[in-house]
Amino acid sequence: MHRFRNMLLDLLVHIILITVGIFMVVPFVWMVVTSLKDPTEVLAFPPRWIPEQKYYAVLPGENAREVRVQTISAPDTGSAENPSTISSDQLVVRCIEPGPDQGRKWSIGRTDLRSRRFLWSNYPRAWSEISREVTFSRYFYVTTIVALLTTLGQLITSTLAAFAFARLKFFLNHIIFTILLGTMMVPQPVLLIPDFILLAKFGWLNTFYALIVPWLANVFGIFLLRQYFLTIPEELLDAARIDGCGNIRILVQIMVPLAKPILMTLALFTFIGSWNSFMWPLIVTNSPDMRTLQVGLASLQSESGIQWTLMMAASTFSLIPLIVLFFFVQKHLIESFARSGLKG
């Protein structure tokens, strides 16, 4: 009976986890599916999870471009027909893509008609054409530089400060650490105006300095590493000192290797936070070529509306580095949760 109860409980837990997992994955799947649709399908009701088969032809004349069309058997036929039901090698098509050419008809050969369900071309278009001011690749470049340097800086400063607070004895050690923790209670919006004024006096606005330097140190990272360093036995450090190791060598050769899971966790959190940052880059930058991904995506809305297919393709691009990074560090992330402590 006890075994049956445990099996029933495990089944219930798995059902709940699977349900929650589905609810978390569905928005991502919808984003990817939307990025592969034709613009005319995005707002279709009822929504379609799998895009319908679509037909495209090259528009004749000076505005030669590929547009979505309906096929009809003759110029005077108003209803659309499937090309497979038309025996003639010549087809009459009508443009159904929104724009000045919508409703235009012309005759083409059957071989000139292209059939597609998923529009993979949305991705290269999003990469190069999504913004009239700069390319999406520029947003990607700026965000990558900022996220990598911010992560590297926080790893270095957090490691040095955490080792000092955890293992070095100096005047007002605990008081200074307590004051640092107190700064975590200050809401970030409160600091926006003073930080902006300070950067303006330095002449750093609209530069990489403004995007990176203020975030090279993080109190949470110092706290997280300090708590882990406190769990390392003091006897191990005493043995290293007896062998002639100084503090720097102890930190580099003993503490850092042991703290690798925690460092990877901190790197993941820092990289994600920097990659998804919106408010700070929006305030300290004013030119398109210094925008980060989130600011660039938010600025894509124009007077004529949003190109949702390209927006979803760009959003998918922005998530790929985070997903890849998570798969690389997930082992260390789980290990850090299992090994970390909050010893005071």
**Residue 334's domain is classified under what CATH number?**
1.10.3720.10
Q: Is residue 249 over pLDDT 60?
A: yes
d(CA 226, CA 113) in angstroms, rounded, equals 65
Q: If you average pLDDT over residues 140-165, what whole number do you get?
A: 93
Higher pLDDT, 217 or 114: 217
Q: Is residue 277 over pLDDT 70?
A: yes
Kindly state whether residue 46 falls inside one of the protein's structural domains. no
Q: Is residue 78 over pLDDT 50?
A: no
Instruction: Count the neighbouring beta carbons within 10 Å of the beta carbon of residue 248.
Output: 10
Instruction: Count the neighbouring beta carbons within 10 Å of the beta carbon of residue 333.
Output: 16
107 beta partners? 92
Kindly state whether residue 271 falls inside one of the protein's structural domains. yes
Kindly state whether residue 247 falls inside one of the protein's structural domains. yes
Q: Is residue 130 over pLDDT 70?
A: no
**In this structure, are 98 and 203 located in the same domain?**
no
d(CA 262, CA 122) in angstroms, rounded, equals 39
d(CA 247, CA 245) in angstroms, rounded, equals 7
Instruction: Count the neighbouring beta carbons within 10 Å of the beta carbon of residue 292.
Output: 26
**In this structure, are 89 and 132 located in the same domain?**
no
What ranges make up the beta strands (E) of the chain? Answer: 54-58, 66-72, 90-95, 105-109, 114-116
Per the structure, the count of domains in the chain is: 3
**In this structure, are 60 and 175 located in the same domain?**
no
User: Final residue of a domain: which of 94, 116, 138?
Assistant: 116
- Specify the pLDDT at position 60: 77
- Specify the pLDDT at position 62: 65
For helices 136-167 and 219-229, the axis angle rounded to 10 degrees is 40
Alpha carbon 22 to chain centroid, angstroms = 20
For residue 20, give the amino acid letter. Answer: V
Q: Which residue has the tokens 């307590």?
A: 178
Q: Are strands 114-116 and 54-58 parallel, antiparallel or unpaired?
A: antiparallel
Banded pLDDT at 162 (limits 50, 70, 90): very high
Which strands form 54-58's sheet, in the order they lie side by side?
A: 105-109, 90-95, 66-72, 54-58, 114-116
Banded pLDDT at 88 (limits 50, 70, 90): low
**Which of these, 26, 120, 32, lies nearest to 319 by C-alpha position?**
32
Q: If you average pLDDT over residues 136-165, what whole number do you get?
A: 92
d(CA 128, CA 219) in angstroms, rounded, equals 38
Give DSSP secondary structure letters for 201-246: HHT-TTSHHHHHGGGS--HHHHHHHHHHHTTS-HHHHHHHHHTT--
**In this structure, are 232 and 304 located in the same domain?**
yes
**In this structure, are 19 and 147 located in the same domain?**
no
Q: What is the pLDDT of residues 25-39, one digit of tens each?
A: 898 888 888 888 887
Kindly state whether residue 41 falls inside one of the protein's structural domains. no
User: Final residue of a domain: which of 69, 94, 116?
Assistant: 116
Residue 145, both tokens: 């530089």
Instruction: Count the neighbouring beta carbons within 10 Å of the beta carbon of residue 154.
Output: 24
* Best-predicted range by mean pLDDT (61-70, 116-125, 137-146): 137-146
Q: Is residue 77 over pLDDT 50?
A: no
**In this structure, are 106 and 230 located in the same domain?**
no
**Which of these, 24, 106, 36, 31, lies nearest to 69 by C-alpha position?**
106
**In this structure, are 288 and 255 located in the same domain?**
yes
Cα dihedral 193, 194, 200, 203 in deg (nearest 10) = -140
**In this structure, are 165 and 266 located in the same domain?**
yes
d(CA 170, CA 305) in angstroms, rounded, equals 60
**In this structure, are 187 and 311 located in the same domain?**
yes
Kindly state whether residue 261 falls inside one of the protein's structural domains. yes
Q: Is residue 295 over pLDDT 90?
A: no
d(CA 184, CA 194) in angstroms, rounded, equals 17
Give DSSP secondary structure letters for 17-72: HHHHHHHHHHHHHHHHHHHTS-GGGTT-SS--SSPPPEEEEEPPSTT--EEEEEEE
**In this structure, are 175 and 217 located in the same domain?**
yes
- Specify the pLDDT at position 55: 79
Alpha helices in 86-187 (DSSP H): 122-129, 136-167, 173-183
Kindly state whether residue 43 falls inside one of the protein's structural domains. no
Residue 47, both tokens: 């929504």
**Which of these, 140, 114, 115, lies nearest to 126 by C-alpha position?**
140
- Specify the pLDDT at position 95: 79
Boundaries of domain holding 107: 54-116
**In this structure, are 156 and 304 located in the same domain?**
yes
Higher pLDDT, 127 or 246: 246
Kindly state whether residue 48 falls inside one of the protein's structural domains. no
Kindly state whether residue 47 falls inside one of the protein's structural domains. no
- Specify the pLDDT at position 339: 57
- Specify the pLDDT at position 18: 92
**In this structure, are 303 and 220 located in the same domain?**
yes
For the chain, percent of residues with pLDDT exceeding 70: 85
